[in-house]
Structure 1
Amino acid sequence: MTSHLAEAGRTLIPHRDDKYGLLSPALVILTFVAGLVDALSYLALGHVFVANVTGNIVFLGFSIAHAQGFVWWTSALTLATFMVGALIGGRIIHYFGANRARHLLVSTSVQAVFVIAALVGTTLLNRFSAEPTIGGTGKPANMATAAAQAIAATNSPSLNFPTANHIDLHIILLIVLLAPAMGIQNSTARKLSVPDLPTTVLTMTLTGIVADTSAHGHEQSKLGRRAVVMIALAAGALAGALLQTNGHEDVILMVMIGCLLVVIAMMLPNVRSDARWVTGK
């Protein structure tokens, strides 16, 4: 147990000569961001995953089968815009991939621009659009409440369960801005290839704990490191769900921006460093 706790501690506060250095805590923060955005997207954007995006392929099948609560266009739009983000991430890798700190700095900065645009865009829509609002005071408590009020008044469909005839501007705006942001994050994490820190899909991380323990004993399970990243994802999802259900979707975006700024601040002083976690040598 002590060794696992020490491993968790080194993940969050790495040694000076650690092979992955500040990349590990930075990617833990980005994993928390993934939990936040998936809580927002699944609970408020019509049953889609913006970060763990492969789930949308399954959801697309559900929508084709006309399963309740699933419509094809939200899944299709999420997949398409996520791939746009991955394309942008690939160009960032092309120009900045040789320096890990600079790569993560640039990719996170671009990601932050998308999230800031989402926050500004929803704020403007809340002010000038007649659609149900996202966050804010003096308005419906949350999107579900706003949609329920709309149903009672006009018999229109719920914002949380869009249909082919109900395409809300808030949903479109958030998907087309947050999905590319997470596409950039996923491409960055893939390039950095820090073990057990993919920032989104943690199926292999969970499998590794059990399989490695079974094959090599608990000391080889990397439980401390892997537990940190799973807790980060769960904590992000919990925080996002609590904020969303209390009508604070705008606060979710603000917390995301704050986390991204922390990662930027961690990388900025190291772009000229010759540490091996920066150079990859």
Structure 2
Amino acid sequence: MSAVLREARATLLPDMAGAQGPLPPLMLVLTVLTGLVDAFSFLVLGRVFVANMTGNVVFTGFALAGSQGFPLLASLLAFGSFVVGALAGGAVAHRAREHRGRLLRRALLVETAVVGVAVLLMLLSHAPYTGTVRLTLIALLGLALGVQNAAVRALAVPDLTTTVLTRTLTGAVADSRLVKGPGGRVGRRGLSVLALLTGAVGGALAVRGGHPALPLLLALAVLAGTCTAAFLLARGDAPWTRPRTGG
């Protein structure tokens, strides 16, 4: 238990002079954001994920098989816009690959701008969001999360992907000391799971409480704060800003 707590503390309060610097807690914040946005998309926009593409592929399969309640167009739109966002995020990452701080800052600027447009559209419309408004919100949010995922992949912070938790959970168990592994890093990986769960629970409670716009408003606030932190932290050339070369 003490090792788990040490891992969790090192993730939440990292060595700013270390190889990852402030990136681990920032990745956890973006993981909370993912939970909020997917709660909004699934519960408000209707059985579609804008961050979890594995879910959308499965939903597309259900729709193609004729299952009711799984809108094919929405899943395909989310998937396509995510791909476009990942392409844009990849372009940002490759242009700033020599400085991870600038990479994060630029990607967050793009993501914040796109989510800001989505929030504006949402506020100018009225729930329930249907028709063109719904499809536009799906496209914008898919685009934004595609940018985020491409940037997070380029930053390559171990065990903190902000979206994909299947591999995280597998690693925590398969690498554990119980099976003579090197250690499952449960403290670090567990925080990633908890962060996504926190965002999803918070978003779902807001929607159930009759505030369908609140998850996306919270997501924009989280992005604005993370973006501000990235601007302040990325000014210098600390060790964490250098390209990651391994492990």
2:167 equivalent among 199, 204, 215 = 204
| 1:177 matched to 2:140 | yes
Shift of residue 265, structure 1, vs aligned partner? 2.0
Aligned-partner Cα distance in 2 for 1:246–1:174: 21
Q: What is the CA-CA distance between 1:89 and the residue it aligns to?
A: 0.4
2:217 maps to: 254
Q: Tell me by how many angstroms 1:228 deviates.
A: 0.6
Equivalent residue, structure 1, for 2:79: 79
Q: Is the 8 A contact 1:118 1:177 kept in 2?
A: yes
Q: Could you tell me how far 1:44 is from its partner in structure 2?
A: 1.8
User: In the alignment, what sits opposite 1:95?
Assistant: 95
What does 1:136-175 correspond to in 2, within 5 Å? 143=128, 168-175=131-138
Deviations 1:38-58 (A, max 9, x none): 111111222111111121111
Give the match for residue 265 of structure 1. Answer: 228
Aligned to 1:152: none
Which residue does 1:48 correspond to in 2? Answer: 48
Q: Report deviation, 1:274.
A: 2.0
Residue number in structure 1 paired with 2:185: 222
**Partner amino acid, structure 1, of 2:122:** T
Maintained 8 Å contact 2:16/2:22: no
Secondary structure at the residue paired with 2:20?
A: coil
Per the alignment, residue 151 of structure 1 pairs with none
> Matches of 2:225 and 2:24 in 1, distance apart?
13
Per the TM alignment, residue 222 of structure 1 is displaced from its structure 2 partner at its CA by: 0.4
* Residue 198 of structure 2: aligned partner: 235
| Offset at residue 111 of structure 1 (A) | 0.5
SS for the counterpart of 2:66 is coil
> Any conservation in 1 of the 2:39–2:215 contact (CA below 8 Å)?
no
In structure 2, how many angstroms separate the alpha carbons of the residues matched to 1:34 and 1:172?
19
Alignment partner, residue 124 of structure 1 = 124
The count of residues paired between Structure 1 and Structure 2 equals 243
> What are the ranges of 5 or more consecutive residues in structure 2 without an aligned counterpart?
none
TM-score, scaled to structure 1: 0.82
**Aligned AA (2:169):** L
**Partners of 1:13 and 1:263 in 2: CA distance:** 16
Please give the alpha-carbon distance, in whole angstroms, between the structure 2 residues aligned to 1:2 and 1:104.
32
- TM-score, length-scaled by structure 2: 0.93
Q: Which runs of 5+ in 1 are unaligned?
A: 127-132, 134-142, 144-158, 160-166
**Secondary structure of the structure 2 residue equivalent to 1:54:** helix
CA offset digits 1:84-104 (Å, max 9, x no partner): 111110111122222111111
**Following the alignment from structure 2 to structure 1, what is the Cα–Cα distance between the partners of residues 63 and 199?**
27
**In structure 2, what residue type is equivalent to 1:252?**
P
Letter matched to residue 180 of structure 2: H
* Cross-structure match for 1:33: 33
Deviations 1:138-180 (A, max 9, x none): xxxxx4xxxxxxxxxxxxxxx7xxxxxxx62331121011000
SS in 1 for 2:27: helix
Letter in 2 for 1:13: L
RMSD (Å), alpha carbons = 1.5
1:221 match: secondary structure:
coil
Q: Distance in 2 between matches of 1:73 and 1:270?
A: 40
**What is aligned with 1:105?**
105
Q: Distance in 2 between matches of 1:108 and 1:175?
A: 19
Distance 1:215 1:194 in 2: 25
The amino acid that maps onto 1:37 is V
**In the TM superposition, what whole-angstrom CA distance separates every residue of 1:187-224 from its partner, at most 9, and x where no partner exists?**
0111111110010011011001110114435x711010
Once the two structures are overlaid, the 10-residue window that deviates more, 269-278 or 38-47, is: 269-278
